[in-house]
Amino acid sequence: MSDAATTESEWYTESVETACDEYETGAEGLSSEEAERRRDGYGPNRLPRAKPTSLWEIALRQFTDPLIYVLAAAAVVSVAVGEGTDAAFIAAVLAINALIGSVQEWQAEQSSRSLQELIETRATVLRDGDARDIAAEDVVPGDVVLLESGYRVPADVRLTATHDLEVDESPLTGESEAVLKDEDWEASGDVPLGDRRNMVHAGTNVTRGRGRGVVVATGAETTVGQLAEDVTAVEGGQPPLVMRMERFTRAIGVAVIVAAAITAILGVVIHQYDAVEMFLFAVALAVSAIPEGLPVGMTVALGVASRRMADVGVIVRRLVAVEGLGSCTMIATDKTGTLTANELTARQLRLADGTTYDVTGEGYDPDGAVLRDGVQTDAGSDDRLARLARAAILCNEGTLSRRDGEWTWRGDPTDVALLALGRKLGRTREGALAEYPQVEEIPFESEQRFSATFHRADDRTAVFVKGAPERVVAMCDETTTDASLADLEAETEAMAREGYRVLAVAEGTLDGELDPEAPPPEPTGLTFLGFVGLIDPLRSGVRTAIATARRAGITVTMITGDHPETALAIARDLGLAERPDEVVTGVEIADRSTDDVRELLGTTHVFARVSPEQKLDIVKAARDAGHYVAVTGDGVNDAPALRQANVGIAMGQMGTDVARDAAELVISDDNFATIVSGIEQGRIAYDNVRKIVYLLVSTGAAEVVLVLLAIVAGMPLPLTPVQILWLNLVTNGIQDVALAFEPAEDDVLDRPPRSPTERVFDRLMVERTVVAALIMGPLAFGAFAWLLDAGLSATAARNQILLLMVLFEVVNIGNARSETTSLFRLSPLGSPILLAGTITAFLVHVGSMYAAPARAVLETAPVPLGRWAFLTLVALSVAVGIEVHKLWWRRRRSPRRVTEEES
């Protein structure tokens, strides 16, 4: 390479030869050794990343909450009036709160970064003359990159060859229209970025066609790399659930602060309490009643769910999907690769004259044989069979080779399966290309449903075609085969009924040569060669997963481009359909109105021969029908449906970069069963958020009831400001975070999906909170009055009421573990983190009763054993009350089910 490398901005003015000379590369690409050397020199092909938020910056963020300002003001007032102990405690509480919040945010940020690193962008390059799939960050200047629809461009590339190559450059230019590329385009003067047709840039997406080119810039040197500083400065938004709950918290906060102010005024005016004491008390009361730990608790719950989803193979790209996936009422799923293993094997060949061959072997390993009537044969024994094999391996974009004793492949599964078939017949694509050099191609695109390649054959041009049977057969001349087109259609349906994915193969010739200045014509007048029947076995566990999804109230709908008979055969195995009239085709959808499609979704769960546009229409109709839709997809053509869905789910193994960009979730193993596991984790996360809400709001409400009753009765304050802060921010603060780790309840997938519009603080939550507050608050007030009547000082009585409130918290967190299941049916050992958190919080308080510094601040002291027993019995009352409410709720909501359980 020359020392004076051409800058990227000038490469569109240079020729292909100049680019190759500059980076000392050619048609075979780089050698592995040279690529490794260049990676060491240039560094990884990675964009500049936003500087990670430091721990001290996260810690400072903990002091930007309005509630913190109120507490800080209270501390200042305490110092001003000589209450240094109270001020010190408030400062300690602020420090502890900041510490807990900082640790949680730091862990959440680290987890988010590690999860994002699981989503790896890939690139196809030529190394040592072979096409290899590598991590995009391993691409180096001088690499020859192969591009096709659905791929993200990994670096800035000077194109050397294109075929109908169209690229979406909107991430760089803002233009929504894809740009048609041309390697022979020449610049005249300074040309804007969007008009440089012989270049493609890192971060853009191939929407159509094929191409190749030489990498001229990587990492920070790319066009997008030079803009990365602006890009990485943009911060992501919060999940809607967290935003809603923060608004909820603020609304409660305003109401509580007003109520606390009124309480303080009443205490001063009516009962002549000390004004400073009532100010501090009002602050503490407001802090106790406002669930300011809710956003942190929810963020932790969603972060825990993200990690759990990653453990089962669901990578969360947007935290909103954790909440949404648990709400989905319908999964619109692809067949190939999601319900099936996407490891196609050619199992049957039917030639044009009706001769049938069976094929043995599994997957892409070419070990196997082609049998006729049980006798092994090869291409040399039957000219018709040889022609079919030749067409199948020439009209092909895949690769299949043996490296280091192992078979490796790249490309579409159908192409690779046909290459394996060719090897079983003794034919390789390399050998066929030596005899028939390729001069042009029409790559496969989902909307056209066929592909074709053109080859030199003496003074003619040979054309080989494969694709959907009805598409290819329509291109054939009926006089070239013994069978009529109707007979061929019947053959297709017969193979499809047996569960085969059917591919038609044909060949033809063109007189003369193709016009190099014009796109190749769509082939006509072809000779039909035969059908290839491919089997794609069901994925392990997918039947059980579909049954589980249905039990969870989720509709599973299969949308595929396959033949209706093939779709029906798979649907029967999956339990989605039994009769042909239960399968609707794309042709039938085209003739129906939107309202008709919406009605179809109530009875039809299998759609076949569906185009990408029709898949989008189905998803829209499902949403209009009230479904919360999760959609799976892997190709560039799936991106519109993925964006239209409530939750888009892209495939991690076979999925394209475009599909992954459009989705909120990525399934690492492409397995439908993994989606159901993700739904379970989403429901667990939402359950845990509700549990945190109940625990915080009910405990705060109980403290408010206790204080208001004491003020109305003209009694001393039952808790001091620092004691209220202790309850809310220390003992309860430990336990609410522990609730975020609560495991699944037994019935998490036996319930119907919740409504997406359901409020977190719904009727059940309101009732449960009121019941808990009206048990804990009045009982604590009664105990306080009794203790005072028994002759205890206000300080001693407060010490025991403080212990009672801690015991209430311990019992109430058991109530929070399930909204419907009895506390006494839930083993504490089933939630070890919650058990540890509860024990820790309890021991922290017990320690405060014996440690001199804590005793001085909290006014605590050891409690006699007999009084422990009394307070424990009082605390258990909240368990009894909530158990009664749970039983009443179950009877009201599902009386028949409860009766059966009790019997």
Residues annotated catalytic, as ranges: 334
Can you read off the two tokens belonging to residue 46?
């990675």
Rounded Cα distance, 322 and 316, in Å:
7
Rounded Cα distance, 24 and 47, in Å:
24
Helix then strand then coil, % of the chain, to nearest 5? 50, 15, 30
Rounded Cα distance, 727 and 704, in Å:
13
Q: Which of 80, 230, 164 is nearest to 440 (CA)?
A: 164
Q: Which of 195, 133, 21, 594 is nearest to 398 (CA)?
A: 133
**At 377, which helix (H) or strand (E)?**
strand 375-377
Q: Kindly report the backbone phi and psi dihedral angles of residue 408, in degrees, each rounded to the nearest multiple of 5, phi listed first.
A: -125, 150
Rounded Cα distance, 363 and 405, in Å:
17
Contact call for residues 755 and 315 (beta carbons, < 8 A)? no
Give, as one character, the DSSP assignment of residue 190.
S
**At 504, which helix (H) or strand (E)?**
strand 501-511
Contact call for residues 756 and 646 (beta carbons, < 8 A)? yes
Q: Which of 128, 123, 144 is nearest to 33 (CA)?
A: 128
CB atoms within 10 A of CB 602: 9
C-alpha 650 chain-centroid distance? 8
> Which residues does residue 632 pair with via DSSP β-bridges, in sequence order?
649
Can you read off the two tokens belonging to residue 496?
């499809």
Dihedral sign (CA 609, 615, 619, 624): negative
Rounded Cα distance, 397 and 445, in Å:
12
Rounded Cα distance, 871 and 119, in Å:
53
Rounded Cα distance, 784 and 775, in Å:
14
C-alpha 703 chain-centroid distance? 40
